[in-house]
Chain A
């Protein structure tokens, strides 16, 4: 046993000192990329990425149903995935920075939703601000621990998810909180409601109906015929695009994601950069949570369950690499849209939900495999 450990240690040392040299030698002899015979299929796949997939699906859709291309159907698809789109945009930053996933997204959604409902009593805008601040706090904790102490992101955010879930359930005793409900009992549970009630007992008398209507209306406003949440998704994505590709921060993030050590050596404040990525993720989850809560018309711990894995699925489909530093916002949109498209087409054909799941999983694995293979054929590696 001891010998074994010794050997282990030995190999580790060698890994750091000897093989780091070897490694460079191995990979430096990359072939001259101009001489590689370009495989047409691979080129298309890597060049257009997920949009190639969308094109195939669209052709399929048109064959299946003549109504597929109608405006209302496309709008429906977009509308259905807009919640996922908002959350995925945030998590895209985390993956871009070289950390696998933000597993605390579901509970961040739930917790910011209930906090929004609590503070909505003073007015909608306060609720939204409070929810976003909650997101910032959660994101900074995650970001600090992962950026500074270099915890494994999956495990840490999962632990965070557990802790947040415990907190939400504990403070609500397993009940849910309605925006338009105000009685003595309501003000005994929650994070801030008891405090609010203590500070200002008159809170019982405020006119909640109008404010609740405003809050519930968030998910039911249709400026120019499309739901508000769709505009929010596009706004978040455009903002994400600008931050990711046009700012210094985005460039730094790319370096951090591609190679953490290089980033550190070149003087980038890695802790701050990673922290910012996680804050973006949590804030996006918070925004998604507000809209989900508004759609459900109730703040509860189960809002947003399953959005962590779904977001990662969408992002990987959209060409993000878990190794970090690869992918773009167009891909994020494409990935999210693809998920909606698959579900839409399968429902139009009349395939049940269970089989849909099976097909989605299979398509996902296939796409990733094809993507990885074509990248490798073109001489680039994919992790």
Chain B
């Protein structure tokens, strides 16, 4: 008898470990990829490789924050790629306008600082506005987010092209550019600490805490897992959904602003060639364990998953492989994760309707039969 109980306990433990592993699969995958790549790719862990890799990941990480929020609310936001471009273009264009208005080169640093503050605020406001429209249409208009954001994506792409007149916009003053990208200390591996990096980290932490520790975030998780139950519990579900879209617009625009400033150029068609940032973000949100139907997810996990995907791309490049291998690897990873997720759900669903108490006895019975043998 004692044996049986022990058996059951072991089983339960294993389940617990596995589910824990799955819940933290972003970390597991990152470690796995890191080990694999450092074996296969020479110099993968060198400072000359890790630092640029993390810098590359900053943009999708920023966009991923809002995207995770939207997905936790049970929606999609396909317009983030376009919002990144809007943020970048508007920040650059408005800076040039206000820089001239505040006195241009003659006014010196004051004009630069004022110009950037106003321009960044306008760009962020544009992102928030897009998010607000998306959110209103989804929550109040009751239209599916997939549709709303596809339309928004098309409209915004046109807007950016028109705004840029087909040209790349760059700021007339490069003072701020150098500050944003300058590392604090010139020590290997610590070179990554730039203002842009720190801002990203702070925003990630803020949104993670908001999601998991604050009442607001827990309410959102409830809205995502069961909107009706949340409504019955007295949560304003519509307002929650609108906020998720606003956050998405905000973080994407912010990411775009910082990306543009770090290069001192806003490209109107960023993401049209190569892998769309939308695709990277979508894939890493899924890999990070955010549930598609909403209700579960973590900003930090998404961030780690973005790093994982970047590590794969980076390692494959070092190994001398082309874009084909990168796309293939990203596709296979995504497919495996989705398959695993839905396969376990599928298994669960097979048991649906069966008597739960009886099911519990099955391993017991099996064990008994074994011991009898």
Contact = CB atoms under 8 A, between A and B. Distances in A.
Contact between A and B in the complex (any CB pair below 8 Å): yes
Interface of A: 1, 4, 7-8, 11-12, 14-15, 19, 22-23, 100-101, 145, 148-152, 154-156, 158-167, 169-170, 173-174, 309, 312-313, 316, 322-323, 353-362, 364-365, 368-369, 372-373, 376, 381-383
A152 B331 contact: no
Contact of A159 (B152, B225, B322, B335): B335
What 3 A-B pairs are tightest by C-beta distance, nearest first? A361-B155, A162-B331, A166-B328
A105 to B, nearest CB: 14
Contacts of B225: 8, 11-12, 15
A84 B330 CA distance: 28
B228 A169 contact: no
Interface in B286-341: 286, 292, 295-296, 322-332, 334-335, 338-339, 341
B295 A365 contact: no
Contacts of B346: 148-150
Contact of A312 (B150, B157, B229): B150
B263 to A, nearest CB: 22
A163 B338 CA distance: 14
Q: Tell me which of B295, B327, B342 has the highest count of chain A C-beta atoms within 10 A of its own C-beta.
A: B327
Contacts of B341: 151
Contacts of A148: 346
Contact of A167 (B147, B323, B328, B345): B328
B222 to A, nearest CB: 6
Interface in B139-156: 141-144, 146-148, 150-156
A174 B147 contact: no
Interface of B: 76, 137, 141-144, 146-148, 150-159, 161-162, 166, 212, 218, 221-222, 225-226, 228-230, 279, 282-283, 286, 292, 295-296, 322-332, 334-335, 338-339, 341-343, 345-346, 349
Nearest to B212: A1
A167 B329 CA distance: 11
A361 B338 contact: no
A150 B161 CA distance: 39
Contact of B142 (A100, A154, A354, A376): A376
B166 A150 contact: no
Contacts of A354: 158, 161-162, 166
B146 A100 contact: yes
Contact of B151 (A164, A166, A368): A368
Contacts of B329: 166
A372 B142 contact: yes
A376 B296 CA distance: 31
B274 to A, nearest CB: 11
B150 A313 contact: yes
B151 to A, nearest CB: 4
Contacts of A357: 154-155, 157-158, 161
A359 B161 CA distance: 13
B168 to A, nearest CB: 15
Contact of A170 (B166, B230, B325, B330): B325
A322 B144 contact: yes
Nearest to A172: B324
A357 B322 CA distance: 33
A15 B229 CA distance: 7
Contact of B324 (A159, A169, A356): A169
A1 B141 CA distance: 34
A22 B349 CA distance: 22
Contacts of B147: 312, 316, 322, 368
Contact of A162 (B142, B158, B327): B327
A237 B10 CA distance: 58
Given A159-B331, A163-B332, A166-B331, A15 B155 contact: no
A162 B342 contact: no
Contact of A358 (B158, B212, B328): B158
B277 to A, nearest CB: 14
Contacts of B345: 150
Nearest to A152: B292
Contacts of B292: 152, 155
Nearest to B148: A365
Nearest to A168: B324
A169 B327 contact: yes
A151 B142 contact: no
Given A150-B346, A357-B158, A368-B147, A158 B334 contact: yes
B143 A372 contact: yes
Contacts of A14: 226, 229
B331 A361 contact: no
Contacts of A358: 154-155, 158-159, 162
B222 A11 contact: yes
A169 B229 contact: no
9 contacts: A8-B295, A12-B226, A162-B334, A163-B327, A165-B324, A357-B161, A358-B162, A372-B141, A383-B142
A157 B249 CA distance: 26
B343 A149 contact: yes
Contacts of B137: 365, 369
Nearest to B228: A19
A368 B148 contact: yes
B342 A151 contact: yes
A361 B151 contact: yes
A355 B154 CA distance: 11
Given A8-B225, A149-B342, A357-B155, 20 more contacts: A19-B226, A149-B343, A150-B345, A150-B346, A152-B292, A156-B335, A158-B334, A159-B283, A163-B332, A165-B324, A166-B326, A166-B327, A167-B328, A170-B322, A313-B151, A354-B158, A355-B158, A358-B155, A360-B154, A360-B158
A151 B142 CA distance: 25
Contact of A365 (B151, B158, B218, B324): B151
Contacts of B286: 155
B352 to A, nearest CB: 9
Given A8-B221, A100-B146, A365-B137, A151 B339 contact: yes
Contact of A15 (B153, B212, B226, B327): B226
Nearest to B166: A354
Contacts of A174: 322-324
A149 B339 CA distance: 8
A158 B279 contact: yes
Given A8-B222, A12-B225, A12-B226, A368 B327 contact: no
B228 A162 contact: no
A126 B211 CA distance: 57
A161 B328 CA distance: 9
Contacts of A4: 212, 218, 221
A170 B328 contact: yes
A160 B162 contact: no
B153 to A, nearest CB: 7
Nearest to A302: B273
